[in-house]
Each structure stands twice: as C-alpha cells, then as structure tokens.
Structure 1
Amino acid sequence: KPIFILNDLYVYKEFRKKGIGAELLISAKDYCMLSGYKGLALETAINNPAQNLYERLGWKKNTSSLYYFWEAK
C-alpha cells in the first residue's frame, strides 16, 4: 500500500501547547485511514520537542535507518 509523507507541519510558537498540533496530526491520520493508505511518515530534527507529541499519538521512531542529504552548492 502507498504511504503519505507529512512535510513541514509547523505551529507558530504563540499557538503551541493548545492542542493544535495534535488535532492536525489526528486529522492527517484520519485522512490516511479513509484513503486506504498504509500510514504516514514524517521527519523531524533530533532536538524537536514535538517528538513527545508524536510518540503520545502512537507514532513510532524508526531506529533502523539513517537519513542522508546531498546539497548542491
């Protein structure tokens, strides 16, 4: 089955800790299930405090692979 990739989810600082991020993630999960997709993937910084939110909502950290990026200069 295909997967959705969630890019650039951002909640402005003044609106954080109000449940907005959780509602956005839950809506994305609902849309994914209604569409018959396998799941959602997202990437975040190692020091992003939102990781606690992701894990609380059932997201699992992938520890079996690394992410690489080549930047054109």
Structure 2
Amino acid sequence: MTFNGEDPLGFVQLYPSFPSFPSFPSINMRKTWVLNDLYVKEAARGKGIGEKLLKRAITFAEDTGAKGVLETAEDNITAQRPYE
C-alpha cells in the first residue's frame, strides 16, 4: 500500500502460486506470485504510484525467492501501461 501521510493512494495484492506436477526441470518448483490487483485512486493516477507499487511487488518476489510475478490480463489496456 502507498500512502500520502495517512491517506492511502493505492495497493497491490499478490497471491502465491506453486507449479503443478509434472514440472520439469526441478528449478520450476519455486513459487510464483500472481498479481491479482493493482489499484491507484483516480486522483493519484499519472503520478507514478502504480509503477512504484509494481516495482515493490517485483522486489518482494525477488526477496522471497520466487520464480516471478504473473501480471494482468492482456485485454486490460489501462492496467498494462505500468508494466511497459
């Protein structure tokens, strides 16, 4: 979550996902985080908050030894902008 003082500006929500069997090679047995929600208040959009939240999610995945982060649906054009 990102704040301006005590006012929340946005949040990112990650869910852990583990590969199903069979999964080869064994390196693929590391968890993956699914980025389910990334939300920024309308008044705070266009100020880099979404990019900051996305970078924090990626750092969190790296810190937890995850294989990666799965991102938003391909048809969600507005939400795709921060990933670019």
TM-score band, normalised by shorter chain = 0.5 to 0.7
* Structure 1 length-normalised TM: 0.65
May I ask how many residue pairs the two structures share in their alignment?
A: 55
Structure 1's unaligned 5+ residue stretches are 56-73
* Structure 2 length-normalised TM: 0.58
Structure 2's unaligned 5+ residue stretches are 1-29
Larger Rg: 2
Query: Following TM superposition, by how much is the alpha carbon of 1:42 offset from its aligned partner in structure 2, in angstroms?
Result: 2.1
Which residues in structure 2 correspond to 1:7-26 (within 5 Å)?
7-26=36-55
Distance 2:64 2:72 in 1: 21
Alignment RMSD (CA, Å): 1.5
Query: Following TM superposition, by how much is the alpha carbon of 1:50 offset from its aligned partner in structure 2, in angstroms?
Result: 2.9
- Runs of 4+ aligned residues of structure 1 deviating over 6 Å after TM superposition are none
Which residues in structure 2 correspond to 1:52-71 (within 5 Å)?
52-55=81-84
Greater fraction strand: 2
Query: Following TM superposition, by how much is the alpha carbon of 1:45 offset from its aligned partner in structure 2, in angstroms?
Result: 5.9
